[in-house]
Structure 1
Amino acid sequence: MNYTTQMDAAKKGIITKEMELVSQKENMELNKLMELVAEGKVVIPANKNHKSLKAEGVGKGLKTKINVNLGISKDCCNVDAELEKVKTAMDMNAEAIMDLSCFGKTEEFRKKLVNMYSGMIGTVPMYDAVGFYDKELKDITEDELIGVIEKHAKDGVDFMTIHAGINRETAAVFKRNPRMMNFVSRGGSLLYAWMELNGKENPFYEYFDKVLDICEKYDVTISLGDACRPGAIADSTDPSQIKELMTLGELTKRAWEKNVQVMIEGPGHMALNEIKTNMELEKKLCYEAPFYVLGPIVTDIAPGYDHITSAIGGALAASTGADFLCYVTPAEHLRLPNLEDMKEGIIATKIAAHAADIAKGIKGARDWDNAMSRARRDLDWETMFKLAIDPEKARRYRKESIPENEHTCTMCGKMCAVRNMNKVMEGKNINVLRDDD
Structure 2
Amino acid sequence: MKTQLELAREGVITAQMEQVARDEGKDAELIRELVALGEIVIPVNHNRPNQKVVGIGTGLRTKVNASIGTSSDIKDIELEKRKARIAEEEQADTLMELSTGGDLDLVRREVLATVNLPVGNVPLYQAFSEASRKYHNPNKLDPEYLFELIERQLEDGISFMAIHCGINRYSIERLRRQGYRYGGLVSKGGTFMVSWMEYHDRENPLYEQFDRVCELMKKYDAVLSLGNGIRAGAIHDSHDRAQMAEMITNCELAEIGREMGCQMMVEGPGHVPLDEIEGNIMLEKRMSGNAPYYVLGPLPADSGAGYDHITAAIGAANSARYGADLICYITPAEHLALPNEQDVREGIRATRLAARIGDIARDPSMREREKQVAIARRDTRWEKQMELLMFPEEARRIRRDRTPENQRTCTMCGDFCAMERGISLFARDIRGDKRGCSGCSGKK
Q: TM-score range by the shorter chain?
A: over 0.9
Q: Say whether the 8 Å CA contact 1:63–1:362 is kept in structure 2.
A: no
The aligned counterpart of 1:432 is none
Q: Which stretch shifts more, 402-411 or 191-200? A: 402-411
Q: Say whether the 8 Å CA contact 1:306–1:328 is kept in structure 2.
A: yes
Q: Tell me the alpha carbon deviations over residues 323-349 of structure 1, each in whole angstroms, 9 at most, x when there is no partner.
A: 111000000000001111111101100
The aligned counterpart of 2:89 is 91
The aligned counterpart of 2:102 is 104
Q: Say whether the 8 Å CA contact 2:81–2:114 is kept in structure 1.
A: no
The partner residue of 2:73 within 66, 72, 75 is 75
The aligned counterpart of 1:153 is 154
Q: Say whether the 8 Å CA contact 1:264–1:291 is kept in structure 2.
A: yes
Letter aligned with residue 156 of structure 1: G
C-alpha distance in structure 2 between counterparts of 1:204 and 1:362, whole Å: 41
Q: Say whether the 8 Å CA contact 1:105–1:132 is kept in structure 2.
A: no
Letter aligned with residue 395 of structure 1: R
Q: Report the CA distance between 1:187 and its aligned residue.
A: 0.7
The aligned counterpart of 1:280 is 282
1:125-274 alignment, distance < 5 Å: 125-132=123-130, 134-135=133-134, 136-177=137-178, 178-274=180-276
The aligned counterpart of 1:289 is 291
SS of 1:160 mapped into structure 2:
strand
Q: Tell me the alpha carbon deviations over residues 37-73 of structure 1, each in whole angstroms, 9 at most, x when there is no partner.
A: 0101110111011122121000000000000000111
Q: Report the CA distance between 1:88 and its aligned residue.
A: 1.3
Q: Say whether the 8 Å CA contact 2:129–2:138 is kept in structure 1.
A: no
The aligned counterpart of 2:438 is none
C-alpha distance in structure 2 between counterparts of 1:186 and 1:371, whole Å: 45
1:15-54 alignment, distance < 5 Å: 15-54=13-52
Q: Tell me the alpha carbon deviations over residues 291-341 of structure 1, each in whole angstroms, 9 at most, x when there is no partner.
A: 011111011111100000000001001101211110000000000011111
Letter aligned with residue 419 of structure 1: E
Q: Please, what TM-score do these two structures have when normalized by structure 2?
A: 0.93
The aligned counterpart of 1:380 is 381
Q: Say whether the 8 Å CA contact 1:62–1:362 is kept in structure 2.
A: no
Task: State the identity as a percent.
Answer: 42
C-alpha distance in structure 2 between counterparts of 1:43 and 1:406, whole Å: 48
SS of 1:331 mapped into structure 2:
coil
Q: Tell me the alpha carbon deviations over residues 67-86 of structure 1, each in whole angstroms, 9 at most, x when there is no partner.
A: 00001111111111111111
The aligned counterpart of 1:306 is 308
Q: Say whether the 8 Å CA contact 1:51–1:115 is kept in structure 2.
A: no
Q: Report the CA distance between 1:132 and its aligned residue.
A: 4.2
C-alpha distance in structure 1 between counterparts of 2:60 and 2:417, whole Å: 38
Query: Relative to structure 1, is the Cα distance of residues 426 and 14 closer, same or farther in structure 2, using a 3 angstrom cutoff?
Result: closer
Q: Report the CA distance between 1:427 and its aligned residue.
A: 6.6
C-alpha distance in structure 1 between counterparts of 2:360 and 2:428, whole Å: 35
Unaligned runs of at least 5 residues, structure 2:
430-444
Q: Report the CA distance between 1:409 and its aligned residue.
A: 1.0
Number of residue pairs aligned between Structure 1 and Structure 2: 425
SS of 2:346 mapped into structure 1:
helix
Q: Please, what TM-score do these two structures have when normalized by structure 1?
A: 0.94
The aligned counterpart of 2:330 is 328
Q: Say whether the 8 Å CA contact 1:61–1:362 is kept in structure 2.
A: no
C-alpha distance in structure 1 between counterparts of 2:199 and 2:350, whole Å: 40
> How big is the alpha-carbon RMSD for the aligned residues of Structure 1 and Structure 2?
1.5
C-alpha distance in structure 1 between counterparts of 2:59 and 2:128, whole Å: 39
C-alpha distance in structure 2 between counterparts of 1:414 and 1:427, whole Å: 22
C-alpha distance in structure 1 between counterparts of 2:4 and 2:73, whole Å: 39
Q: Report the CA distance between 1:181 and its aligned residue.
A: 1.7
Q: Say whether the 8 Å CA contact 1:104–1:132 is kept in structure 2.
A: no
Q: Report the CA distance between 1:112 and its aligned residue.
A: 2.2
C-alpha distance in structure 2 between counterparts of 1:113 and 1:55, whole Å: 17
Letter aligned with residue 272 of structure 1: L
Q: Say whether the 8 Å CA contact 1:329–1:337 is kept in structure 2.
A: yes
- Extract structure 1 runs of 4+ deviating beyond 6 A: none
C-alpha distance in structure 2 between counterparts of 1:334 and 1:182, whole Å: 16
Q: Say whether the 8 Å CA contact 1:331–1:337 is kept in structure 2.
A: yes
The aligned counterpart of 2:368 is 367
Q: Say whether the 8 Å CA contact 2:80–2:111 is kept in structure 1.
A: no
C-alpha distance in structure 2 between counterparts of 1:163 and 1:215, whole Å: 14
Query: Relative to structure 1, is the Cα distance of residues 393 and 193 closer, same or farther in structure 2, using a 3 angstrom cutoff?
Result: same
1:396-435 alignment, distance < 5 Å: 396-426=397-427
Q: Report the CA distance between 1:223 and its aligned residue.
A: 0.5
SS of 2:217 mapped into structure 1:
helix
Q: Report the CA distance between 1:182 and its aligned residue.
A: 2.1
C-alpha distance in structure 2 between counterparts of 1:426 and 1:383, whole Å: 19
Q: Report the CA distance between 1:425 and its aligned residue.
A: 2.6
SS of 1:119 mapped into structure 2:
coil
Q: Say whether the 8 Å CA contact 1:272–1:313 is kept in structure 2.
A: yes
Query: Relative to structure 1, is the Cα distance of residues 404 and 259 closer, same or farther in structure 2, using a 3 angstrom cutoff?
Result: same
C-alpha distance in structure 2 between counterparts of 1:371 and 1:91, whole Å: 24
Q: Say whether the 8 Å CA contact 2:306–2:333 is kept in structure 1.
A: yes
SS of 2:229 mapped into structure 1:
coil
Letter aligned with residue 314 of structure 2: I
C-alpha distance in structure 2 between counterparts of 1:119 and 1:49, whole Å: 14
Letter aligned with residue 276 of structure 1: E
SS of 1:265 mapped into structure 2:
strand
Q: Report the CA distance between 1:149 and its aligned residue.
A: 1.0
